[in-house]
Amino acid sequence: MVRGNSYGKGNDMKKIIFLSFFFINIYYAKSFSTNELYEKIDLFGEVIEKIQKDYVDDVNQSKMMESAINGVLQSLDPYSAYMSPELFKEMQTDTRGEFGGLGIEIGMESGVVKVISPIDDTPAEKAGIKAGDYIVKIGETQVQGKSLMEAVKLMRGPVGTSIDLTIRRKGVKKPLEFEITRRIIEIKSVDSEILGKKKNLGYIRIKSFNENSDKQILEIIKKYEKNKKIEGYILDLRNNPGGLLTQAINITDFFLDEGEIVSTKGRKTSETRKFFARKGDEVEGKPIIVLINNGSASASEIFAGALKDHKRAIILGENSYGKGSVQSIIPLRNGGGMRLTISKYYLPSGDSISEVGVTPDIVVEEIESNFKISTDNDNQLNYALKLFNS
């Protein structure tokens, strides 16, 4: 017998809670010790009842239950979240060109929105937003307590309109304020140039791992390899928030002759896989330096971690972000959806990227975060050039 029916028949909310936990009990009964689940059901019902009776203001019960659902998901990790039907529909239709963005990849940390990385040549990057910044206020709205998807919704809006962001930054005592104008975010994922004074070096800046990034990079490599004077490569992944797993695998494969690239592990057999390099190194063993920073996340970390583990490249810069998980968007019966972590990435060494990231072989803290090719005050790029020319 499931306990909890003592809440009465006159309250629809209590019936919903009772039925919800009844089905949770059926599914998860084997995972809990005797009476533990029932005690939690009673406690949750008691909290709802106290809120209804004693809270200072009237409460929207529907929104309260959605917040409870989102709280469950956000307690799992910074990337799982609930989307209401309205928000889920907006997320599916935001490619029409009617809405603009700021150009930042964000996550959650301890209930606060954290910038994973500003994307190159976007309003956020040009305004001075940095990886690791905490967004505490969007316009006049405090972000604390908001879900990740709610924060995304607040930052979206008509192209050409502006939004004020209040930022907390490590090492800066006072909050920073930025006014940023929204625009359509179009990402050119790859830039390149030949650098170096004593040696000709192929510099490739990978801004994200999009659908055609591998084709762009392979085209650049083939063009450079025709020039027999190219003696090495600098691959710049700073502030690259990641992208498609398939692209990370394909691009990493260009620089390896054999061996494991990455593995994924999940509860389902279909989510547990290993990916290996195919025979053939497109740059024929030429030396490589990979630049990373705290804004290098996900697919960037797979790339840098695999080349590091195989001792194929020197990793230079700062520790990467530490986003080593895969999320799936799952539609729900109410028309909403949920973003749920379904597997984690593991490097060839067996190490997890999650919350750890990739540690560089040579630590060089960035002084200038404007990653334009040949920027005179880019100390990390200059350090890489000196290594090649020494």
Catalogue the active-site residues.
298, 309, 323
Listed residue (363, 260, 247) closest to 305, CA to CA: 260
DSSP-derived pairing of the beta strands 200-206 and 190-195: antiparallel
Structural contact between residues 239 and 119, judged by C-beta atoms closer than 8 angstroms: yes
Distance CA(287)–CA(64), nearest Å, equals 56
Q: Which residues contact 112 (CB under 8 A, 6 or more apart)?
A: 134, 135, 136, 143, 144
Q: Which amino acid is at 294?
A: N
State the DSSP code for 210: -
- Give strand ranges (E) for the chain: 81-83, 99-100, 104-109, 112-118, 134-138, 141-142, 157-158, 162-168, 176-181, 190-195, 200-206, 230-236, 260-266, 273-276, 288-292, 314-317, 325-331, 337-346, 362-363
Distance CA(298)–CA(245), nearest Å, equals 9
Would you call 80 helix, strand, or coil by DSSP?
A: coil
